[in-house]
């Protein structure tokens, strides 16, 4: 299957700093990428949908000025958590949509575990 990478796999940062997470589709082009967040013992929650070359669309309750998303190419989307606080500590997972003649599926990255101290 298709491969999606995320970097970093884990990060610890101090409260008030910003953290950038990268999501790359390694062997296919993805017009659409998604960012999810998963708190312990909870389900994955969609934060935003990122379309290459246009602004991301954010789910209700997700602050677009706090979670900056850039999707500048067909293989890379970035999520920047600005002015991080301990309540932002979570597992952030991206996915990339493969939409070809024989496949229509979201492929997930391995996730980034963010801890804000």
Partner 1 sequence: RKEVEQDPGPFNVPEGATVAFNCTYSNSASQSFFWYRQDCRKEPKLLMSVYSSGNEDGRFTAQLNRASQYISLLIRDSKLSDSATYLCVVRGLSNFGNEKLTFGTGTRLTIIP
Long-range contacts of 85-88 (CB under 8 A, 24+ apart): 85/15, 85/16, 85/116, 86/15, 86/116, 86/117, 87/116, 88/114, 88/116
The residue within the footprint of partner 1, chosen from 3, 46, 85, 115 (CB under 8 A), is 46
The sign one gets for the Cα dihedral 13, 69, 21, 48 is positive
List the structure tokens of 47.
């934060």
In angstroms, give the least distance from the CB of 84 to partner 1.
Answer: 20
Does 3 sit near partner 1 (CB under 8 A)?
no
CB nearer partner 1, residue 64 or residue 83: 64
The distance of closest approach from Cβ of residue 63 to partner 1 in the complex, given in angstroms and rounded to an integer, is 17
Taking CB under 8 A as the rule, does residue 7 contact partner 1?
no
Which residues here bind partner 1, judged by CB under 8 A? 32, 34, 41-46, 49, 51, 57, 59-60, 91, 93, 95, 97, 105-106, 108-111, 113
């Amino acid at each position: 299957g298709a491969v999606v990478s995320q970097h970093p796999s884990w990060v610890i940062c101090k409260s008030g700093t910003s953290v950038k997470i990268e999501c790359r589709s390694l062997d296919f082009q993805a017009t659409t990428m998604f960012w999810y967040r998963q708190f312990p013992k909870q389900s994955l929650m969609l934060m935003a949908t990122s379309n290459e070359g246009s602004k991301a669309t954010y789910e209700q309750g997700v602050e677009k000025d706090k979670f900056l998303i850039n999707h500048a190419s067909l293989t890379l989307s970035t999520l920047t958590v600005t002015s991080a606080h301990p309540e932002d500590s979570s597992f952030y997972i991206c996915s990339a949509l493969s939409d070809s003649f024989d496949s229509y599926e979201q492929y997930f990255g391995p996730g980034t575990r963010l801890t804000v101290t």
